């Protein structure tokens, strides 16, 4: 069976299932690479692709629930916006990109999973000039992801304040979801070195921005707030869903404001949000700059009650028959 994406190369979807379990393990998932769906072992890009050479490109991490692409329209809008900010023209339409994702979901028989959608600058020269790359590369991976262990969603997660500051907005706006993630990765390494899984990143002014791959919310005296994007945070899709859909259902109003790490230390609750992370509460925050690396316990060292309410509301929606795609 052959399926075609308008304006792109033919997309061939495998119809025969692999003959052996070993082959399945090695060659799943089937991946869309520049117009064709191929087994994992055949998914390749050019060594001259500027996405590889320079981190020049954009991406989205998107959840699939009950066979539906969660908040698909918002992800497409952000992908196109990010591409425009780095002057990268995506050569297929949003509808065609959604069709590519649906093909990958179907090819991999995914009901609940995760999509990594990547648009690279494309193949070019060894120089930096992006306009010598005539055709952007498009990669779509539909698979499974588990960012944090399941038990941490019930017990809450300990994090550390990163010593590495967030890249200043004037240098590279973190709202652009680009392939250049080294700042986030090096901050993440700080947590891994301590046997933890996530950090809280501050900007050069000492204001809280986000985690290495997720947004942060803080609750104090029944009030919930989150950093504005202007401090150096990504405009997270799940962040927006919490603010616009979940918080009102829980009778809460979210305020965007600038705040320092002390307000996290003294919070009643705090939690992280992201497409991969979903919603996960923080049970403690370690301050490496304090004597002995003092740990500040939140919500009694477990997931807070308001965080739990929001997380349960989220689970109800994404396991229902009406998973929103807009």
Catalogue the active-site residues: 177
Distance CA 301, CA 309 (A): 17
Distance CA 219, CA 138 (A): 40
Beta bridge pairs of residue 39: none
Helices (H) and strands (E) in the chain, counts: 10, 17
Distance CA 171, CA 174 (A): 9
DSSP-derived letter for residue 115 is E
Q: For 295, what's the count of Cα atoms within 13 Å in the CB-facing half-sphere? A: 13
Q: Please state the three-class secondary structure of 246-279 as a single string.
A: HHHHCCCCEEECCCEHHHHHCCCEEEEEECCCEE
Classify the phi-psi angles of 3: left when phi > 0, otherwise alpha if psi is within -120 to 50, otherwise beta. beta
């Amino acid at each position: 069976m052959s399926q075609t994406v308008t304006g792109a190369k033919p997309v061939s979807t495998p119809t025969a299932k692999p003959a052996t379990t070993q082959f399945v393990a090695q060659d799943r998932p089937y991946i869309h690479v520049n117009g064709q769906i191929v087994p994992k072992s055949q998914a390749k890009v050019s060594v001259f692709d500027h996405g590889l050479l320079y981190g020049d490109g954009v991406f989205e991490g998107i959840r699939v629930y009950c066979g539906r692409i969660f908040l698909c329209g918002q992800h497409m809008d952000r992908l196109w916006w990010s591409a425009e900010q780095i002057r990268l023209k995506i050569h297929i339409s949003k509808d065609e990109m959604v069709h590519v994702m649906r093909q990958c979901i179907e090819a991999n028989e995914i009901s609940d999973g995760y999509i990594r959608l990547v648009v690279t600058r494309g193949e070019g020269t060894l120089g930096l000039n992006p306009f010598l790359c005539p055709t952007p590369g498009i990669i779509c991976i539909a698979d499974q992801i588990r960012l944090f262990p399941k038990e941490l969603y019930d017990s809450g997660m300990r994090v550390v304040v990163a010593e590495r500051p967030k890249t200043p907005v004037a240098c590279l706006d973190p709202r652009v979801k680009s392939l250049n993630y080294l700042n986030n990765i090096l901050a993440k390494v700080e947590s891994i070195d301590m046997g933890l899984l996530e950090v809280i990143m501050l900007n050069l002014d000492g204001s809280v921005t986000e985690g290495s791959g997720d947004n942060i919310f803080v609750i104090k005296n029944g009030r919930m707030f989150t950093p504005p994007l202007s401090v150096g945070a990504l405009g997270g899709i799940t962040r927006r869903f919490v603010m616009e859909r979940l918080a009102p259902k829980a009778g809460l109003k979210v305020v965007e404001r600038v705040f320092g790490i002390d307000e996290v230390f003294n919070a009643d609750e705090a939690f992280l949000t992201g497409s991969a992370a979903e919603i996960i509460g923080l049970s403690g925050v370690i301050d490496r700059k304090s004597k002995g690396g003092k740990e500040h316990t939140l919500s009694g060292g477990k997931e807070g009650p308001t965080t739990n309410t929001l997380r349960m509301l989220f689970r109800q929606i994404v396991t229902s028959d009406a998973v929103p795609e807009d």
